[in-house]
Amino acid sequence: MARAENVNINLCAIVPVYRHESASRAVVEKLASYELPVILVDDGNAPEGHEILVQIANEFPKVQLVTNKVNLGKGGAVRSGMVAAVAAGYTHALQVDADGQHDMDMIPFFVKAAKKHSDDLIGGFPQYDDSVPKSRESGRKITNFWVAIETLSREIPDAMCGFRVYPLATSLPAAKKFRNNRMGFDIEILVRLSWAGVKLRFYPIKVSYPKDGVSNFRLFHDNVAISLTHTKLCLGMLVRSPLILARRIFKK
Ligand SMILES: Nc1nc2c(ncn2[C@@H]2O[C@H](COP(=O)(O)OP(=O)(O)OP(=O)(O)O)[C@@H](O)[C@H]2O)c(=O)[nH]1
Ligand SMILES: [Mg+2]
């Protein structure tokens, strides 16, 4: 089937927020400056954090606040945002982390790429400066190694970047097929979209870690959970490998 190119898309941004309510204001401001509607997901923040998000939603006309009463985790927050986006009629969602680590000036480039390749997932390929913690850098390398095995390809240069445009017609059904609510979500959805035959395109984006930034990444817990995700995805690949390989052969 021919892929849709340069068609009209209805795009919003999804910003999942947990303990990043202060940093999220600048992210929302930047999105608003590009006239993008925003779905801000309050992922079970404390009352003070919730209050700040309510203020932001009241201040910016194109911001819709979605509230998870309890903290579900990053994946749970993005999934809630996707459900709200589809209900509101959006076809695509730019997922942006609330911590302001990504180069927001790349938004127009990513939007253009999503319009040009509207069936495809448009992902960020992080270009880190010296501020990246070493532990996070090596964790990503290990993840990207496993993802190549899980997809039997090198099509995903980075599976953890929190800046990407989802085509919702394929991404929400994929996101509903698994329960991974925490940090493994970013990885698992890309692998599942690849299994489903969705084309994944990656473009560089600068990422920096501010010195006083809040990280929710729990080195031990999240790395153990991510290892379990890889175990599950490797088994999933074994089951699907005939299909994945057949699709590749017949596409040529
Ligand atoms: N970790 C985490 N993040 C959440 C949760 N709910 C929503 N988020 C949001 O998900 C995004 C990613 O969280 P970060 O703490 O920056 O995680 P990360 O980018 O993998 O980790 P760093 O590389 O240390 O920044 C941010 O926008 C968070 O506010 C949650 O329960 N846990
Ligand atoms: Mg982050």
Q: What is the residue with the minimal CA distance to atom 31 of ligand 1? A: 73
Residue range 82-102: mean pLDDT, rounded: 97
DSSP SS3 for 207: strand
Q: Which residues line ligand 1 (CB under 6 A)?
A: 16-18, 20, 43, 71, 73-74, 77, 97-99, 101, 136, 162, 183, 215-217
Any idea how long the chain is?
252
Phi-psi region of 62 (alpha: psi -120 to 50; beta: other; left: phi over 0): alpha
Binned at pLDDT 50, 70 and 90, residue 81 comes out as: very high
Q: Which amino acid is at 46?
A: A
Q: Is the pTM of this model over 0.85?
A: yes
Confidence (pLDDT) at 175: 97
Which region among 162-166, 219-223, 244-248 has the lowest average model confidence (pLDDT)?
A: 219-223
Task: Report how far ligand 2's centroid is from the alpha carbon of 93 (Å).
Answer: 18
Confidence (pLDDT) at 3: 63
Confidence (pLDDT) at 176: 96
Ligand nearest to the CA of 24: 1
Residue range 15-37: mean pLDDT, rounded: 97
Confidence (pLDDT) at 2: 56
Which region among 61-75, 101-115, 123-137, 179-193 has the lowest average model confidence (pLDDT)?
A: 123-137
DSSP SS3 for 177: coil
Neighbours of ion ligand 2 (CB under 5 A): 97, 99, 101
Token readout for 144 is 């990207």
**Neighbouring C-beta atoms of residue 217, cutoff 10 Å:** 15
Confidence (pLDDT) at 8: 86
The domains of the chain are located at 11-251
219-245 pLDDT per residue, tens: 788 888 999 999 999 999 999 999 999
**Is domain 11-251 classified as CATH 1.10.1470.10?**
no
Confidence (pLDDT) at 6: 67
Token readout for 35 is 């006239």
Residue range 185-199: mean pLDDT, rounded: 97
